[in-house]
Structure 1
Amino acid sequence: MASDITYHDGPVFSRIDDSPAEEEPPSQPATPSNEYERIGGRTGSSFFQTLIHLLKGNIGTGLLGLPLAVKNAGLVLGPLSLLVMGIVAIHCMSLLVKCSHHLSVKLGKPFLTYGDAVEYGMENVSWLRRHSVWGRHLVNVFLIITQLGFCCVYFVFLSDNVKQVVEVANGTTWNCHTNETAVIVASMDSRLYMLCFLPFIILLVFTRNLNFLAPFSSLANLVMAASLVLIYHHSITNISLPIDLPLVGRAKDYPLFFGTAIFAFEGIGVVLPLENKMQKPQNFTMVLYMGMAIVTFLYISLGTVGYLCFGENIGGSITLNLPNCWMYQIVKLLYCFGIYITYALQFYVPAEILIPHAVSRVSGRLELLVDLSIRVALVTFTCALAVLIPELDLVISLVGSISSSALALIIPPLLQLLTFHNEGISCWVVLKNALISLVGLVGFVAGTYISIEQIIKRNHQRHNDISFQVM
């Protein structure tokens, strides 16, 4: 997930970097000597630059919610599950790269997007060929859901953290873990903060050229990295001994763990654009394994030490548990600044998928008006969803279960079966891929159901408590 970088589609990545558009397929068939030709070439990104982009594309707000995910799974089962999920996520990313490379060589194309790969993979199966375009549409739909879901999470994250900083400054901080009524009041107030952020975020997404945001994005990455260092330091140095936490969580809470964890690991959308833009794409496999190993270590370590530090009182984001001293209030504000800038990056993908189709239907004078109107509507939509569901942990779990599980776990194994349908696939590969997709599907259904159930339950509880206070 999750993520500071949102180059989920080839054309999007190219426009951000001002690279040439997709070239026409070469007249001659691809050969082993040119099979690794991509749009990056000599002007593409280096090994280190690609590694940094991969880290940026996988480290975001999802990381801060992992201590609560570990709580839902248990002190032992949680980290072990994160390790297994990390291994499976890396495997699915490598499958996507393998399939894309095979299809691009077969078709003589310089690069393929995620949607392209699914569409052309479906064309390998005769009875799916007529409907292959729906494969591209399906991927785009899940990308839109995922990115707009990230934007909803950002609204909730910004409001919760800024509200907490303001309350500390005013000397009116509530203990949200021991006072049930305080949680209701805080949730109601957080919605007002979301509405306050709305006009500023609308102005932010009016920036259609992300090159203008590049300096702010770099600054945001630095302050978020510094904030993470301070969060790690506080968590590690404040672990209470002896440790008395459940090793295995409740079974009914495990789907919430799944949704949060897959939300954090949903960085598969950046894989193909990064591979396409690399100077030496044949080295991308090493970048992928090295980068995702670092990401998995960060996820497991922060999830574990955060839960060890704050125990059963851990919040939807670990930043909500930080001390009320000035240093950690600055940490929250710095991270909020990074998330604010990142909103524009996450928003870019659904905007680039939806807006061109709408603009192409109107005359030149109305193009700008339609463009800006859609941007306002999409931002307002994400704000409205955040207002309706002001629960950070449940929003993360819901977004992860619905869309991230499909993009990261369900589709890649199926894509391999489609891509190599006519080239012989062992029974072991079929069983392995079927198992991964089945796990993703079960997580999709169970995580979505439990998340929605908990949202409804908390909403009823909120209304009951408000009625009780009025009486």
Structure 2
Amino acid sequence: MISDAGAPLLPTKCVAEKRTDKEASISGAVFNVSTSIIGAGIMSIPATLKVLGVIPAFFLIVTVALLSDLSVNFLLRFTNSGGSANFSGEPATYGGVMRESFGWIGSLLVKLCVIISNWGCLIVYLIILGDVFSGSENGESIHLGVLQEWFGSHWWNARPYALFFIVVFILLPLALFRRVESLRFSSAVAVLLAVVFVCISFVMAISALFEGNVQKPRLFPELDGHSSFFNLFTAVPVIVTAFTFHFNVHPISSELGKPSKMTTATRISLILCVVIYFSVGFFGYLLFGESIASDILVNFDRSSASPFLNDVVRLSYAFHLVLVYPLLNFSLRGNIDELLFPKKLVLANDKFRFISLTLVLLGLSYLAAIAIPDIWIFFQYVGSTTIISIAFIFPAAITLRDVRGISSTRDKVVALIMLTLAVVTSTISIATNIFNESKS
């Protein structure tokens, strides 16, 4: 059975269909993988430097990137070792690989984790876009949005109207593309906007450095007690979230043709994202010091030295999220369709179902973003559960289960270490967050 993962969208049904489409390019895959990686997590990277210190944060970023590369290789090996389909006839998808190893329960778990994680991320994206364009209020702290600064407080730049315009006229057209490769140009622009974000942060940090307006960054964390040590683990889910793109591995890989191309694209993307993440974290921490917020965009308000650069930074990041949105939506939509309509035709070939599901998801995300003022707790709890499962726990478990008999002793040792680190750090992070909230 030929996998329909190469069909438009995240494939979910078994369809014997010969592909005649042109293979995607490695450069397009690099942009799509990089765009899948660089999302809302980037804005919390500077705060992790404040928690961990510069040197431990750098090593954590590199370590998580290396583990992500290993876990993706595990997935690709078990996907491609026996051809394009699994032993059970499942198409080459994440859910298919999990079903082969752990039956229908494994497939259901990965679908639910992807749905919860991706939908939460999409809601976070819309909340950030609302904050950027229409401002936000947190207790006594009020941050004006770009539209409020430019045009004053008018009804048409309020959050519901601004988000409605963004959803209907920008996100919806991008979400209607039926192939991941179709987004390669928008993904390239998204990566470029992330680079612009880094460059402007660098310019502002260097300028502040010459003017003597920066604080000396801490190289190592300050530990003043038992609880402070465990607080360091709360930074792990943020970095894990920032490097989780495993739900898009199969649709991107299937369009490349050769598995080796996906390995190359993944490693190039991870190196690029390590540079971008650490640069944003270091320059943001250098610029704002200990006053850095968990959302760095909060620090780029009109009270800073350069209002023009502040607006450029916020807008570049906002438009980056706009272009990242369709890639996460691909995976979310495909997994929901597979869960609700397992025996239907491939989603991309059913126009009515495709458009209906797209509209419903956008509508629900819009309503949630309007109703929920702040869901940054998402990074703490979802990052420690569903996201860490997608990135490390499931790939490690597949390797240890080894239903194909292809795992070497080294593979199993690496998988066991990966699984242990993921479970221990996520458990400590969740327990620490619950303890901190109980004290407040």
Bin of the TM-score, shorter chain as denominator length: 0.7 to 0.9
**Corresponding position of 1:433:** 415
Would the aligned equivalents of 1:394 and 1:451 in 2 still touch at CA under 8 Å? no
Tell me, yes or no, if the aligned pair for 2:190 and 2:319 is still in contact at 8 Å.
yes
Give the whole-Å Cα distance in 1 for the aligned partners of 2:417 and 2:327: 34
Residue 155, structure 1, aligned to residue 126, structure 2 = yes
Q: Which residue of structure 1 aligns with residue 204 of structure 2?
A: 234
Q: 1:374 to 1:51 in 2, by over 3 A?
A: closer
Q: TM-score scaled to structure 2, two decimals?
A: 0.76
Please give the per-residue CA displacement for 1:345-382, whole angstroms capped at 9, x wherever unaligned: 423332333357657999xxxx9998877666645654
1:135 corresponds to 2:106: yes
The AA in structure 1 aligned to 2:398 is: L
Letter matched to residue 397 of structure 1? Q
Between 331-340 and 207-216, the greater mean CA deviation after superposition = 207-216
**Structure 1 Cα separation of the partners of residues 189 and 67 of structure 2:** 32
RMSD after superposition = 4.2
CA displacement, residues 193-222 of structure 1 (integer Å, 9 cap, x when unaligned): 554455346536655622699576665554
**Closer/same/farther in 2, CA of residues 412 and 217 from structure 1, 3 Å limit:** closer
Q: Which is worse superposed, 331-340 or 102-111?
A: 102-111
Q: 2:5 touches 2:92 (CA, 8 Å); kept in 1?
A: no
Aligned: 1:182 with 2:162: no
1:144 maps to 2:137 = no
> 2:152 corresponds to which residue?
none
> Separation in 2 of the partners of 1:223 and 1:216?
10
Q: Distance in 2 between matches of 1:359 and 1:262?
A: 31
Higher-Rg member (1/2)? 1
Equivalent residue number for residue 15 of structure 1: 8
Aligned to 1:7: none
Alignment check: 8 A CA contact 1:359 1:370 kept: no
C-alpha distance 376-450 of structure 1, shift in aligned 2 (>3 A): farther
The 5 A counterparts of 1:390-409 are 390-391=373-374, 393-409=376-392
SS where residue 384 of structure 2 aligns? Answer: helix
Cα distance in 1 for residues equivalent to 2:353 and 2:49: 44
Identity %: 17
Alignment counterpart, residue 220 of structure 2, candidates 235, 241, 247: 247
Q: Is the 8 A contact 1:68 1:303 kept in 2?
A: yes
Q: Distance in 2 between matches of 1:370 and 1:15?
A: 14
Q: Among residues 297, 317, 338, which one is paired with 1:335 in the alignment?
A: 317
C-alpha distance in 2 between matches for 1:371 and 1:285 = 30
Q: Find the aligned partners of 2:384 and 2:171 in 1 and give their Cα distance.
A: 27
Equivalence for 1:347 = 329
Name the amino acid aligned to 2:389: A
Counterpart Cα distance in 1 of 2:217 and 2:176: 51
Tell me what 2:70 maps to.
Answer: 91
Counterpart residue number, 2:177:
210
SS at match of 1:432: helix
- Report deviation, 1:113: 0.8
User: Partner letter of residue 333 of structure 1?
Assistant: L
Note the 1:164-183 alignment, pairs <5 A: 164=135, 181-182=140-141
TM-score by length of 1: 0.71
Q: CA deviation at 1:286?
A: 2.8
Residues of 2 paired with 1:224 and 1:291: CA distance? 13
Q: CA deviation at 1:295?
A: 1.7
- Number of aligned residues: 405
Q: How far is the alpha carbon of 1:185 from its aligned partner?
A: 11
TM-aligned CA deviation for residue 23 of structure 1: 5.4
Is 1:447 aligned with 2:412? Answer: no
* Cα distance in structure 1, aligned partners of 2:85 and 2:338: 29
1-structure distance, mates of 2:176, 2:275 = 34
Using the TM superposition, give the Cα deviation of residue 412 of structure 1 relative to its aligned residue in structure 2, in angstroms: 0.6
Change (3 A) 1:431 1:40: farther
For residues 28 and 275 of structure 2, what CA distance do their matches in structure 1 show?
A: 20
Gaps of 5+ in 1: 1-9, 26-37, 123-131, 168-173, 459-471
Select 1:81's aligned residue among 60, 78, 89. 60
Is the alpha carbon distance of 1:236 and 1:396 closer, same or farther for their aligned partners in structure 2, counting shifts above 3 Å?
Answer: farther
Residue number in structure 1 paired with 2:154: none
- Confirm or deny: 8 A CA contact 1:22 1:110 kept in the other structure: yes
Match of 1:416 in 2: 399
Gaps of 5+ in 2: 149-156, 223-227, 345-349
CA distance, structure 2, for counterparts of residue 384 and residue 447 of structure 1: 30
Summarize the Cα distance change of 1:92–1:368 in structure 2 as closer, same or farther, 3 Å threshold. Answer: closer
Aligned equivalents of 1:244 and 1:206: distance in 2? 42
